Amino acid sequence: MSDMHNLLEKVYQTNDLTKEEITYLLVNITHADREILYSNALKTKQTYYGDKVYLRGLIEFSNICRQDCLYCGIRASNAKVERYRLSPEEILACCEQGYQLGYRTFVLQSGEDLWYTEEILVNLLGAIRKSYPEVAITLSIGERSTDTYQSLLAAGADRFLMRHETATQELYKRLHPTMRFEDRRACLSALKQLGYQVGAGFMVGLPGQTAADLAEDLRYLKEFHPDMIGIGPFIPHSETPLGAEKGGTLEDTLALVALARLLIPDSLIPATTALGTLNSQGRELALKAGANVVMPIITPTSVRKHYALYENKICGDDHPEDCRYSIEREIQTAGFEADLGRGDSRKFVVGAMGSYQ
Ligand code: SAM
C-alpha cells in the first residue's frame, strides 16, 4: 500500500493522525484519493448520526462590529457597509417566524456589538426561553467575559459558536489587528468549561496559510474536541484589505471537512453558506463528505444583504420559507433526510454511546 493509502486507512480506522501525517495528506492527495476520503467520512458520519441533516435557523441580528478582522466585510473600518441592529422585539419576531417554519434551533449571530449588553441579552434569552421552552438557543456574538458567558447560559443559551479562525499564532496576529490569539482560545475554553455545547472552526485558503497551518487547525480541534466544527472557504470581500487575494477552493474545503469528520467523528459539522456561495453544489458535496448540519438564514430580508461577510452570499433575497424549502430539496437530492429537531451534540445526549442506533 502507498503512504497515502496507509494514511487514509489509518484515519478511517483510528480517527487519528499526527500533524505531519495530515500535512503530507493535504499536500499529496490526488483526485482518486479524495473520493476515498469523502466516502470514508460519509460512512463515519452515518455511523454516528445516520442520514439526518440538522437544520438551524440563522438570525444575523447586527452587523455592527468593534473588531477589524482583515478578511471580514463587516469589519469596523469598512465605512461602505450600511449598519443595522435588530431590536430585541424584532429578534423575537424573527424567532416566532422561524418557530412557525418548524425550526427548533435558533442561531443568534452578530458582529461584536456591545450595544447588546449582558442585561439586554439576558432579557432576550429569557423571553425566547419563555415562548419556546424546547428550542436550542445558540449564540455567536464573539468575545465577552466569562461572567457574561455564565449569565447568558443561566438565562437560557445552550450553545456557542466561535471559530478559532486559525490555530497558527503568527497568522492569527496578522489577520486580527484588534484581537489576541490567547483571548480567543481562553474564551473557547471558558465556554466549554461552563457547559455550553461549543463550536470552533476555521477558514480555508487564507492568504499565507499553508498545509501545515491547516494540519495545526485539525490537531487543535482534535485536542479541544468541540461539539460543532465550522469550516468554510475564505472568500475575499472587495472592501477589505484582502479584497485582491485568491480565497479558498471547494476541493480544499471539502478535504478539510472530511478530515474533521474522521478525526472528530461525533461532531456536528455544517455545510457552510460560504461553501454554497463558492459553488452551487458546495453544500451538497459537503454533506457527502461528512457534514451533517445546514443553517438556513432567517434574518429579515430587509437587512439581510447588509450582513455581507463576503460578497454574493446565497439566499440574499429569499424569503425564509423559500430558503428552507430550497435547502430541504438540496438535502433530499443529496440522499439525506432534513431534521428540524434540536439536533444536540452526541456528547450531550444521555445514552448516546458512539455508534448510531
Ligand atoms: N462576531 C462573531 C465571532 O467573531 O465569532 C460572529 C460573527 S463572524 C462575522 C462569523 C464568521 O464569519 C467568522 O468566524 C469567520 O470565520 C467568518 N468570515 C468572516 N469573513 C469571512 C470571509 N471573508 N470569508 C469567509 N468567512 C468569513
Q: pLDDT tens digits for 131-140?
A: 999 999 999 9
Q: What is the pTM of this model?
A: 0.97
Q: Output the domain CATH number for residue 154.
A: 3.20.20.70
- 2 CA distance to ligand 1 middle (Å): 38
Query: Which residue(s) pair with 161 in the sheet?
Result: 199
Asked whether residue 8 is assigned to any structural domain, the reply reads yes
Identify the domain containing residue 321 by its residue range. Answer: 3-342
Q: What distance in Å separates the CA atoms of residue 18 and residue 13, rounded to the nearest whole number? A: 14
Asked whether residue 185 is assigned to any structural domain, the reply reads yes
Q: What total of structural domains would you count in the chain?
A: 1
Instruction: Give the per-residue pLDDT at 319.
Output: 81
Q: 38 and 289 in contact (C-beta within 8 Å)?
A: yes
Asked whether residue 12 is assigned to any structural domain, the reply reads yes
- Residue in the block written with cell 481562553: 186
Residue 195 CB neighbours (<10 A):
11
Q: Report whether residue 144 contacts ligand 1, using a CB cutoff of 6 Å.
A: no
Q: Whose CA is nearest to atom 14 of ligand 1?
A: 163
Q: Report whether residue 330 contacts ligand 1, using a CB cutoff of 6 Å.
A: no
Top mutation candidate among 68, 71, 171 for ligand 1, by most atoms within 8 Å of CB = 71
- 164 CA distance to ligand 1 middle (Å): 10
Length in residues, the chain: 357
Q: Report whether residue 165 contacts ligand 1, using a CB cutoff of 6 Å.
A: yes
Which of 4-13, 167-176, 339-348 shows the lowest per-residue confidence on average (mean pLDDT)?
339-348
- State pLDDT tens for residues 160-170: 999 999 999 99
Q: What is the mean pLDDT of residues 225-241?
A: 98
DSSP secondary-structure letter at 217?
H
Asked whether residue 351 is assigned to any structural domain, the reply reads no
Q: What distance in Å separates the CA atoms of residue 350 and residue 261, rounded to the nearest whole number? A: 21
Asked whether residue 352 is assigned to any structural domain, the reply reads no
Could you give phi then psi for residue 19, rounded to 5 degrees?
A: -60, -40
- 72 CA distance to ligand 1 middle (Å): 6
- 63 CA distance to ligand 1 middle (Å): 11
Q: What distance in Å separates the CA atoms of residue 335 and residue 330, rounded to the nearest whole number? A: 9
Q: Report whether residue 253 contacts ligand 1, using a CB cutoff of 6 Å.
A: no
Asked whether residue 235 is assigned to any structural domain, the reply reads yes
Q: Report whether residue 308 contacts ligand 1, using a CB cutoff of 6 Å.
A: no
Asked whether residue 182 is assigned to any structural domain, the reply reads yes
Q: What is the mean pLDDT of residues 20-32?
A: 98
Instruction: Give the per-residue pLDDT at 357.
Output: 32
Asked whether residue 147 is assigned to any structural domain, the reply reads yes
